[in-house]
Chain A
Amino acid sequence: MFQTTENKMIRSGLVEPDALLMGSLDAHLEWNKPCDNIFELEMLFNRLNINALIFSQPAEPYRSIIDYLAEASNGTITPNDCETRTFIHDLPVAFELSPDAVVPLLKKRKCVIVPGHGIITYGTVGLEQAYVTFSSVCFACFVKFFVDFLFLTRKRQADQKLGQVFVRVVQALDPPVSFNGSLTKGPFKSKKHIYEAIQEAGRLVVEHRLVDSYFGNISFSDGQTLYISQTGSSLDQLKDAIDPCPLNGSSCVPITASSELPTHLKIVQHAGSRAILHGHPKFSVILSMDCDLENCGCRDKCHVKCPHERFVRGIPIVSGEVGSGPSALCNTVPKAIGEHQGVIVYGHGVFTAGNTDFNRPFKHLIQIENDCRAEYFNRLRLYSK
């Protein structure tokens, strides 16, 4: 029961192998290993209507980032990235690891950060849910830390302590993504080949840490049907998690398709692209949120209606929210993608597209992320002068 989740979390760099504590309650409470804190954590199961719990120090650089943000907070960290705004809202902080400190916060949110100790998340439908929340907390804090540091540096308000943490964090970053290989080349002869190509691309995107498992989606259209990853699917585990979506709308099977299905469909219609990747590479998200316009009338609405044409190294940045509705990204991304390598959605992620297979969109996803990462440090140097 625990092994799958543990493997995922270690593989994605969220935790160190020995740090992870997981509990699961059905009729009886089970833990993945013995631990000194077991008694206090068992009290969480007694006091909360939950069936799974994860408690762990995150791995570096998340640990330094989260500890810093938590200690600097007044009890709540409020990231502004899309995932957090939509699904988690904000991140509560407890300043001691005790049931009395933690339970009141977990009564309201699915996670709590305890600086110096780690992150506690829970699930009501199993460990997977606790894992997703844990991963989301790490992602949200990472993005917030880098966005805030760039902003404060530009404002010349970054203090020495923050600077020291930043140096430590940067030293712990993964190296820039590199990929010299090739994905399966199209055109694909059959549905089976399409499924295999989607699974291959999904697996590579995760392996190169261009997304965490739950952040992203992927599709391929053969002209009649668009095959797309299901909502809430791990991109590295897409076997049995791809929905066929008939382009004539004759079946509702894709009711379980990714929430970005409307965007994928419109990219197919507008740009004629057939292979589409959507991930949440961190520096692309971070840089999309860096804006030096002072006194902008839409300052708090960047994610839904930024009125400015923005680019980073030639890649358009657009606003838009998840799913459907007038302010959804399905109204902005398909128009913007045009001849560009891809599109960055404010505080959210990147869409790339290709015509025959996933080689072009995958390489562009890497290129955009690496460009954004380089541009981040360029801007930092510029603002530091």
Chain B
Amino acid sequence: MIACARLSILTPDLRLSKLDMKFFYGKFSPNPRDTDALNMYGWHGKIARIDLTQRSWRVEVPDIGILKKFIGGRGLAGFYIRTSITLEWNHPQMPLLLFTGPLVNTRSPTSGRMTMMSRSPLTGTVGDASVGGSFGFQLKKAGFDGIIVSGKSSQLCGIEITDNDIRIVDASPLEGREVGAVNSLLKYKGATAVIGPAAENGVLFSSIIVDGHYAAGRNGIGLSFAAKNIKYITAKGTHKTNVFDPAALSSAKEDVFRLVAASPVLLGKFGISRYGTGALYDLMDARRMMPTDNFQKTRFDRALKMNAYAFKKQYAPKKTGCRGCHILCKKTAGHRASMPEFETMSHFSALLGNADIHTVVNANRICNDMGMDTISAASTLACFSEIMQRKLAPEEIVSLLTDIGKKQGVGAQLGRGAVKYAISCGRPELAMAVKGLELPAYDPRGAYGMALAYAVSSRGGCHLRAYPVSHEILRKPVATDRFSFSEKARMIKIGEDVNAVADSLTACKFIFFAASLEEYARIYAAVTGIKTSAQDLFTVGDRICYNERMMNAANGFTEKDDDLPSRFFSMAGDQNSGIRIGPIDRDAFLTARSNYYMARKLNKSGMPVSAVARNLGLGPIEKISDVSNHRK
């Protein structure tokens, strides 16, 4: 069956023209069950497997036991990618997975998120990104818990998902188009997930932008789209998600709302609902842990002029947020342009020594339009700046970002990320990254739990796996000593478990500044009808994290990769303003890392143990495919 459609797209000079776009699906073979109601609660019980090489798709009905063991989102995507994880990231059979969770498309608080996963083109680790917006909601409404895309399209394509239907369409006219322009064209098709020119040009830290604003930013997951010749995926539907006990859901939801209302970080006068995540900027300055000049310093002396208040005064941003969220931490200004998030604000100011607020906004816009992760982009520029031994002028920051996205000039080298660039310059020590992923905007010398969490994170330099900022900085659920490794190993392990569950339900990690798995276990039970508890969910989180450790181990990651750049052990941060930020004690760090391995039930070298894997229901440990595989 061949169908045709006409689509208006923006030409390079921004005038409208009409182009024919042909569907080229050939062997569509939807399973007869795909339109059947499976009478499940929470899940639809339907996962679409799309083969771009064969141009076919089918529905897979997951076993309920698998759903209970991995829930959805990051957990379920991790389950499905495991058998392929030793393939190269750009191997046609390396799957790309987009998964929602059982809470998505229900009245559960902050349930609009989803996970996008593949093997990271940037790092070689398991590569996932949790992303907000409305894509997860619409994918679920279209009748799917997730999609698994394998194969490779022969030409640039789009995947359009509607009620129990999936079409693969020609997107070659959109080649090289920026995200904003493509998103504008596709809006009527529902939620959008789009890559920009950066991914098409092979930038290793390419992102996927959902609904024009929400970035699946880390790990270079955008390049996984490009590897399959996917320019965009859209989703729209009308299905409802069955809820087992709506009254119990309402009751648990009320408890969560009460906790959120009591949270200064979320709904407080200076919280992220009012100021966006940029509200954290002043705090990082006050705690003297704002990464400055490529992490050479921990205080930016012009921070007060670059804070969320300054952005608010300058741009008068408006509130918006993900589907199903009442916190609304996303801020837009002008023509619904995204305002920079905290990490972007910090890295495009302090990390680069830039005090021009408009450059931060411009940099954010370019990264979004090109489809690049702002953290990795800024960190790579900071590395470049230090290697070149000169500060980058505001206009240079902007032009370099454009060069990276277009793969031109030195941008072609910088587009490989800080680690590969620093190695190519003979200065590997100047890449501030863990496992190849550039570090975000919390200096680990100012929060030792964060230091450990960065080091052991299964996706590299990521603050969100364990998120100890919650207790070390934001004092929730109680404050812990940020300059101590004492008790931190198990805290980090537990934090990772909690966030793995949050990413799988799915719910926003921010709400866990106020609520806990105690409340979300009730929500999960109310939605799915599965009797559970907070501690039962911890076990699921443990399983998800262990599964990721196993996948990384299979790709040759060892304890050598669970480490921080040497700078943090040798160089002090700010010393002059009442709070001394010293270098991290190497021995104390290594002890904490060993303690983490024990808490996580890994062996002394941080490698997974067969008996533990078996107990968690994860099956045998894969052989290590190629010790140097991840470094390719």
| A255 engages B270 (CB within 8 Å) | yes
Residues of B within 8 A of A107 (CB): 533-536
Main secondary structure of the interface of A (DSSP, over half): loop
| B480 engages A126 (CB within 8 Å) | yes
| A256 engages B283 (CB within 8 Å) | yes
Q: In whole angstroms, how far apart are the Cα atoms of A48 and B518 in the complex?
A: 13
Q: In whole angstroms, how far apart are the Cα atoms of A252 and B307 in the complex?
A: 8
Query: Given A26-B595, A27-B598, A107-B534: A253 and B264 within 8 A (CB)?
Result: no
Q: In whole angstroms, how far apart are the Cα atoms of A49 and B518 in the complex?
A: 13
| B358 beta carbon closer than 8 Å to chain A | no
**B-contacting residues, A45-80, CB 8 Å:** 47-52
| B259 engages A252 (CB within 8 Å) | no
| B487 engages A262 (CB within 8 Å) | no
| B357 beta carbon closer than 8 Å to chain A | no
Interface size counted on chain B using CB atoms at 8 A: 56
Q: In whole angstroms, how far apart are the Cα atoms of A376 and B280 in the complex?
A: 45
**Could you mark each residue 249-292 of chain A with 1 if its beta carbon is under 8 Å from any beta carbon of chain B, else 0?**
11111111111011001000000000000000000000000000
Q: Contacting B489 at CB < 8 Å: which of A27, A125, A132, A321?
A: A27
| A128 beta carbon closer than 8 Å to chain B | yes
Q: In whole angstroms, how far apart are the Cα atoms of A26 and B538 in the complex?
A: 17
In whole Å, how far is B350's beta carbon from the nearest beta carbon of chain A? Answer: 15
Q: Contacting B259 at CB < 8 Å: which of A87, A245, A261, A328?
A: A87
**B-contacting residues, A173-195, CB 8 Å:** none
**Could you mark each residue 257-283 of chain B with 1 if its beta carbon is under 8 Å from any beta carbon of chain A, else 0?**
011011111011111000100111111
Query: Given A255-B268, A255-B280: A26 and B535 within 8 A (CB)?
Result: no
In whole Å, how far is A238's beta carbon from the nearest beta carbon of chain B? Answer: 12
| B275 engages A252 (CB within 8 Å) | yes
| A13 beta carbon closer than 8 Å to chain B | no
Query: Given A108-B534, A132-B478: A321 and B261 within 8 A (CB)?
Result: yes
Q: In whole angstroms, how far apart are the Cα atoms of A24 and B477 in the complex?
A: 17
Interface size counted on chain A using CB atoms at 8 A: 55
Residues of B within 8 A of A1 (CB): 486-487
| B49 beta carbon closer than 8 Å to chain A | no
Q: In whole angstroms, how far apart are the Cα atoms of A265 and B599 in the complex?
A: 44
| B474 beta carbon closer than 8 Å to chain A | yes
| A256 engages B474 (CB within 8 Å) | yes
| A89 beta carbon closer than 8 Å to chain B | yes
Main secondary structure of the interface of B (DSSP, over half): helix
**Could you mark each residue 279-297 of chain B with 1 if its beta carbon is under 8 Å from any beta carbon of chain A, else 0?**
1111100100000000000
In whole Å, how far is A253's beta carbon from the nearest beta carbon of chain B? Answer: 5
Which partner residue on chain A sits nearest B497 by CB separation? A49
In whole Å, how far is A296's beta carbon from the nearest beta carbon of chain B? Answer: 21
**Could you mark each residue 475-506 of chain B with 1 if its beta carbon is under 8 Å from any beta carbon of chain A, else 0?**
11111100000111111001001100000000
Q: In whole angstroms, how far apart are the Cα atoms of A1 and B484 in the complex?
A: 12
**B-contacting residues, A117-153, CB 8 Å:** 123-126, 128-129, 132
| A258 engages B487 (CB within 8 Å) | no
Identify which of A199-207, A225-233, A367-375 touches chain B: A225-233
Q: In whole angstroms, how far apart are the Cα atoms of A85 and B281 in the complex?
A: 32
| A323 beta carbon closer than 8 Å to chain B | yes
| A254 engages B270 (CB within 8 Å) | yes
| A353 beta carbon closer than 8 Å to chain B | no
Most chain A Cβ neighbours within 10 Å, of B265, B488, B490, B594? B490
| B475 engages A126 (CB within 8 Å) | no
| A380 beta carbon closer than 8 Å to chain B | no
| B25 beta carbon closer than 8 Å to chain A | no
In whole Å, how far is A86's beta carbon from the nearest beta carbon of chain B? Answer: 5
Q: Can you give 6 A-B contacts (C-beta < 8 A)?
A: A52-B487, A109-B518, A128-B478, A252-B308, A256-B473, A324-B269
Q: Kindly list the 10 A-B residue pairs having the minimum CB-CB distance in the complex, ordered from nearest.
A: A27-B595, A107-B533, A49-B538, A107-B535, A323-B262, A322-B262, A51-B490, A252-B270, A252-B279, A325-B261
Given pairs A250-B307, A261-B264, 14 additional interface contacts (CB within 8 A): A104-B533, A108-B521, A125-B471, A129-B477, A251-B307, A252-B270, A252-B280, A252-B309, A253-B282, A253-B283, A255-B270, A255-B282, A257-B268, A323-B261
Residues of chain A at the chain B interface (Cβ within 8 Å): 1, 24-28, 47-52, 85-87, 89, 104, 106-110, 123-126, 128-129, 132, 230-233, 241, 245, 249-259, 261-262, 265, 321-325, 328
